[in-house]
Amino acid sequence: MKVARGGREHWGSRVGFILAAAGSAVGLGNIWRFPYYTGVNGGAVFVMVYILCVILLGFPLMFAELSLGRRTQKNAVGAFLSVKPHSPWFLAGSLGVLAGFLILSYYSVVAGWTIGYFIESLLGVFRSFHNATEVANYFKAFSANPVKAVGYHALFIVLCMLIVIRGVKAGIERWSKILMPTLFGILVLSIIRALTLPGSFSGVKFFIFPDFSHFSLDTVFLAMGQAFYSLSLGMGCMITYGSYLSRKSNIPSNGIWIAGLDTMVAFLAGFAIFPAVFAFGLKPEGGPGLVFQTLPNIFRVMPGGVVFAPLFFLLLLIAALTSGISLLEVVTAYFVDEKGWSRKKTVLITGTIIFFMGIPSALSYGKLAKPIVFGRTPFDFVDKLTANYLLPLGSILIAVFVGYIWGRDKASREIMDGAPGFKLAPLWLFLLRYFCPVVVAQILIFGFLSEFTSPAVQAFTKILQRYFIIADIALLGVVAVWTAHFFLRKGRKFSL
């Protein structure tokens, strides 16, 4: 085993690291959340904005987290502490660890549903439905059943614990190397099946030809939140995974692979889902139930549905598992590094806590389907709190920390180390220092303002939005001019 000074475990290979980090990024966010947001936000327009967000916000933050992790060889909290000791900056890391507990607690509930749907589709349950109402009622009954919801949630946490307890190389990396190729294989099979259905082309159109009448400012804000969520950014997950990288690793190229694979899988998931949805004359605006309530209708009647239903839910489960382990690893690395606990003890304790924290979310579609936390069910509360507030806040803090506190020189020296040909460091720092904090702060502000339904606040929000969008366009213009200037200076060649 390759062990660094001080005994820190390292990834066994570059491919292993990329698959593990892409495994973290590729998850329910890609196959469940992305199609559902695309479906309710007008299709291709959302996809285009999403891709812009990945390029302008996702890449810079991905590089920032990986660099900080590799430099410090520490967990989310330790990374801040070792760059800036005796300062409150470590709280930015603590926020990340807290987000890890919270996200996994409800993520595991949806992941639990995928286990349930996998098992039940193997048993042929979906074949027995006669119409869409039966499918919808089945989902309602399934998610409201406390024994199933809590039981499958527990099962998912235990699966994550079993992998994380083995450590970085023998656990996370080894399983990612098995699970990720399986995931790609199943995804490709699903796409072939979907595209060969008669009438599938209108789904392809919905997904790739933008209809700008659907464009709104909300599209931009939702796409940004989705980008962070999908790329596992904003809570130190990539700091933690980066901390198991050796000095020789090439951060820009690894980061491009991770974000590229993640975006590709989201895209492929769209090609597996929308053609099938349209081929059967169903609506793409299925919301959170798109995958659990709309798709089973298709499996019910589709030729080969008996095989494709369990395969599809297995795909979802695998995607969720490689993401769940990354969330558990953020929490685990913190206690192992900072508190000196053994990995085994940490995983047992934190896994148990996360299981109990998730019970209210698991019951949110049954007994607790009431607005009891700030007007929301516990599930919705944790989902919104993390995706709309904690991740954007964490991202701003990481961008400011790397861009200003760690500083331009040290950060660019770090990213170039292992990637001497990387000519885009100045552009990276520019986006990190000026673009990310400003734009992401807007998600936070609008997320917060949209909580209030009073007409006065809404009118105020409208006005504010108009100013912000003008500021954003100006900022984009500056980025464009700056980039052109950067490339036109003699002798600059694009290279990684």
Contact positions vs ligand TRP (CB under 6 A): 24-25, 27-30, 103, 229-230, 232, 235, 237, 323, 326-327, 391
**Phi, psi at 373, each rounded to 5°:** -115, 110
Which of these, 68, 24, 18, lies nearest to 232 by C-alpha position? 24
Min dist. Cβ of residue 329 to ligand TRP (A): 9
Min dist. Cβ of residue 18 to ligand TRP (A): 15
Instruction: For residue 362, give the amino acid letter.
Output: A
Instruction: For residue 140, give the amino acid letter.
Output: K
CA–CA dist 163, 320 (Å, integer): 13
CA–CA dist 282, 302 (Å, integer): 13
CA–CA dist 107, 55 (Å, integer): 26
DSSP 149-208: HHHHHHHHHHHHHHHHTT-IIIIIIHHHHHHHHHHHHHHHHHHHHHHTSTTTHHHHHHHH
Residue with tokens 């049954």: 366
Which of these, 277, 261, 114, 267, lies nearest to 201 by C-alpha position? 277
Residue with tokens 């019910």: 300
Tokens read off for 187: 């995804």
For the chain, the maximum distance between any two Cα atoms, rounded to a whole number of angstroms, is: 68
For residue 253, what are the contacts with CB-CB under 8 A and spacing of at least 6?
A: 419, 496
Tokens read off for 304: 């080969």
Nearer to ligand TRP, 229 or 278 (CB): 229
Up-side HSE of residue 353: CA atoms within 13 Å toward CB? 14
List C-alpha distances in Å: 74 to 205, 241, 249, 355, 468: 46, 9, 16, 26, 37
DSSP 231-275: HT-SSSHHHHHHTT--TT--HHHHHHHHHHHHHHHHHHHHHHHHH
Burial of 16 (0-12, 13-18, 19+ CB in 10 A): middle
Contact present, 374 and 381 (Cβ < 8 Å): yes
What residues are paired with 9 via a beta bridge?
3
Other Cβ atoms less than 10 A from the Cβ of 484: the count is: 10
What angle, rounded to 10 degrees, do the helices at 146-164 and 305-339 form? 60
For residue 491, what are the contacts with CB-CB under 8 A and spacing of at least 6?
A: none
CA–CA dist 171, 238 (Å, integer): 17
CA–CA dist 212, 273 (Å, integer): 22
Contact present, 114 and 317 (Cβ < 8 Å): yes
